[in-house]
Structure 1
Amino acid sequence: MTYPVPDTQVETLYEIKKSKFIAYAAYADSREAAMALLAKVKSRYPDARHHCWAYLIGSPKQPLLLAMDDDGEPSGTAGKPILNVLQHKNVGDVMVIVTRYFGGIKLGAGGLVRAYSAAAQHAMSQLPTKQEVNLSEVKLNVDFKHEQFVRHLVQHNGGEVRECQYAQHVSMCVGVPTDGVDEFELQTAAIRIDVSS
């Protein structure tokens, strides 16, 4: 399954009624990675009042994990609006943190929801993405004369050669896009060496 993921990280600034909302969006493929990003942002802005966040891990159509946090803002006014933006952007493995510096003018619950939504939206609209491809591991043994052909096939299919060992034949460990494994198996069936005998 392929889906867009962040290609890099972005940071944007949204200001309303003297309050500053600094939105940071980046790639996170696990809760640990997301929490590491949060720690990084907190250390960059240690004097900020709030670091509200949400993440969506896995495919945007069928996420493996979703989480959010209001970080002291009134319940439902920060994390939920950020998560709502993520759920409508068709980007997977993404974390958005919105850091708030209070400007002295209260925004009210509705104003906070709009401000956190706008900050997250702004960051996501500027976030470059790339296609995430899930690779499955395939092991095969081939004659030396077929190694280059296999390398070409793997590259052509958007995979990677992970390991090669040379003996009487070449033992290869390759990563092939999961949805193309059957096709790859068919393409290499005729040149594989059975070493079980």
Structure 2
Amino acid sequence: MANPYPNFTKKDFLYIQKKAGKIAKNRAQDYQKTISSYKKLPKKEQLAKVNFYLNQLLPQYDDVMQKQEDYWATPKEFLITGYGDCEDYVIIKYFSLIKLGFDKKKLYLTTVHEKYIGGYHMVLSYFEKEGESPLILDNLSFRILKLETREDLEVDTFINASGVYKIDKNNKLYKVQSYSPKFQELLRKVKKER
């Protein structure tokens, strides 16, 4: 079976080096090698390592990098540029965890309001057990904490391939939209990269 997305071939590495330089090629190679090295670790350790490793990529707002606001970069785009904003970290973590065997039905791109700094932010939620508060992977924190302990975050929506959701006080998700246009657009871009 082929290595799940994102995966790079030798041809991809040559293309990246030609298009974006040796540093970008090295970053993509390091990603592939590092994520593969996590495959035999326990799930909790995989979560921590993926969060820590990817949080080391440099942040940059979309309007600087992409010349537009709210651009959702694919993991390959993020690795090639080496910069991204909050949703780009969430997207690469989402696909990296799926690559490691996590159930994509338990992973959600999560829009939140950051109470103390102000403004909207995106984090990755992992619902390890049904009915429990999800674990939050955040590019602003190397610690993975349950949502209920993140007093700085006010959740808006949870997004994945099955739709857009809100959460009730019992940590049960309920669907508010059948799909997210931005997420569907991302999946189309990912499909072209495979």
Instruction: Report TM bin, short chain.
Output: under 0.3
Greater Cα radius of gyration, structure 1 or 2: 1
Larger strand proportion, structure 1 or 2? 1
- Kindly indicate whether structure 1 or structure 2 has the higher relative contact order, using CA contacts under 8 Å at least 6 residues apart: 1
TM-score relative to the length of structure 2: 0.27
Larger helix proportion, structure 1 or 2? 2
TM-score relative to the length of structure 1: 0.26
